[in-house]
Amino acid sequence: MESISTLLTTTLSAIVLSVMAIEIKRRKKKLRELYDVLDHEHRDVVHQLDRMVEQGQLKRFALFHTLPDDIES
Amino acid sequence: MTTKKDSTPVRKKRMRNSPKTEAQTLAIEPAAGTLPQEPYRFRIFVIDSGWKSPAAQVVRDNFSMILSFQGRDPFYVLSRKQSSNIIRQNPVLAGKDPIILVRDLVQTLDDNGEEFHGFHLNLGVLHKPNQVLDALRQFLQFLTSHRNSTNIERDIREKLHRDGWAGAIEVIRAGAQEAMSG
């Protein structure tokens, strides 16, 4: 009887720990999706943005500016 | 930010006498065809293709707050058309906007010889307005407190990605808090 009880406790603990580990992994993955670091995948994006700044297609936003008309809600 | 269609240079506007003109003199424009000489750490871009999502609404409603955290760093807002174009040409960004992309201007080469560093906040992956606001606040606070960091990617992994055991504990704590608040 005791061995069954021990087995049950161990199994339940293992399940709880596994669920916790899975949940931690899921949340960390979500955080990495949310706060992404620039890497080689974003090379083209960075180059395009730099080019837009250099060519004057993007101007520095200052406090007196309003948002572009097509972006305001 | 798009260029104005009338292509009136800012310098000419400075000639006019108005409070707005004085404020406009604070705007910095690089000479045409050159990379600006910017003594700043970050260059910040907002990419928003215009989806009517909770995340986009939060960004638009709190835009002045975002601006107040930028400090001296140059801040660029892409128009809807520019944002859609850049997302279309770079599928890695698809479904993640509104995006606040921060380019770290500190020139360091990594193992692959890449000269650029930075990070971006993909608010489009969140669906609840309170989550979006929390993420935005955390991101802006991180930006402010780590502007002198020597290795910002490492700080992001520790503080925002919650890597390591301390991070795992923080994730559990945050999860428990969420569960209790319902």
Predicted local confidence at residue B104, as pLDDT: 84
- Among B57, B75, B156, the residue with its CB nearest the CB of A73 is B57
> Same domain for B127 and B70?
yes
User: Of A20, A61, A65, which to mutate for an interface test with B (greatest number of B Cβ within 10 Å)?
Assistant: A61
Angle (nearest 5°) at CA B17 between B12 and B20? 80
The pLDDT-based confidence of B101 (bands split at 50, 70, 90) is very high
C-alpha span between B135 and B99 (Å, rounded): 12
Checking if the pLDDT of B9 tops 80, the result is no
Decide if B28 and A60 are in contact by the 8 Å CB cutoff: yes
Say if residues B166 and A24 touch (Cβ distance below 8 Å): no
Report the predicted TM-score, pTM, of the whole model to 2 decimal places: 0.71
Compute the average pLDDT of residues A22-41.
86
The pLDDT-based confidence of A55 (bands split at 50, 70, 90) is very high
- Cα dihedral across residues B12, B15, B16, B19: positive or negative: positive
Structural domain range at position A57: 2-71
Indicate the helix (H) or strand (E) that contains B138: helix B129-145
Compute the average pLDDT of residues B69-95.
89
Number of domain units in chain B? 2
- B82 and chain A in contact, CB less than 8 A: yes
Residue B132 Cα, gap to closest chain A Cα (Å) = 10
* CB contacts, 8 Å: B83 with chain A: 71
CATH code assigned at B129: 3.40.30
Which backbone phi and psi does B103 adopt, to 5 degrees?
-95, 125
Say if residues B14 and B25 touch (Cβ distance below 8 Å): yes
Checking if the pLDDT of B65 tops 50, the result is yes
> Same domain for B86 and B167?
no
